[in-house]
Amino acid sequence: QKKNSDSFIYYIIYALVNSIMCVPCLYGYASVIFNHSVFQPHINALSKLVILSSVVHQFCFSTFSSLSFSIGQVQDAGLIFLSAMSNAIATSILAEKGDGASLDDDVVAEVLSSTVVLLGLSTACLGAVLIMMGKFRLADAVAYLPLPVVGG
């Protein structure tokens, strides 16, 4: 009985250390993803959203992984794509609404809501594809892709 309570304490300590180390990185990730000027007045809320999505990511990865020792943390490789997507969405909406000289609250709200929803949906779709690839053992199909595609 004592051993179980000791291991639970180790889990809690590890989670606290992991959180202390990762939260500053997540603020940096938010500033990379939302680097368009239209997002800057709202970067505090967007940073909290990135932290929330990281918590959900880590919970899902740790809960549903077949490895008992697995931990999941957001990696920086996908930030390039998320940043490009958020910039493209913001630029597209701002170009449609005018030259950007008048950023009223409705335009900014449209940019923010469209970006957050589209980034979330695209990330969820990618996650579903990756889960299906794992479930149907299709990871070997990656071997047929040229190395520059896989390795960048």
Distance CA 36, CA 46 (A): 12
| 103 secondary structure, DSSP code | -
Q: Read off the pLDDT of residues 83-102 as tens digits, 9 standing for 90 and up.
A: 999 999 999 999 998 765 56
101 by DSSP, 3-state: which? coil
Query: Residue 152 — very low, low, confident or very high, per pLDDT cuts 50/70/90?
Result: low
> What is the spatial distance between Cα 87 and Cα 116, in angstroms, rounded to a whole number?
12
Task: Select, from the ranges 42-46, 57-61, 93-97, the one with the highest average predicted confidence (pLDDT).
Answer: 42-46
SS3 66: coil
Q: Which amino acid is at 108?
A: V
More confident residue, 147 or 83: 83
Query: Helices 43-64 and 105-135 sit at what angle, rounded to 10 degrees?
Result: 10
Cβ-contact 43, 31 below 8 angstroms: yes
Is this prediction's pTM over 0.75? yes
Assign 131 a pLDDT band (cuts: 50, 70, 90): confident
The set of residues, in sequence order, having a beta carbon less than 8 Å from that of 50 and lying 6+ positions away, is: 26, 27, 29, 30, 33, 74
Averaged pLDDT, 55-80:
79
Report the range out of 93-97, 112-116, 120-124 with the highest average pLDDT.
Answer: 112-116
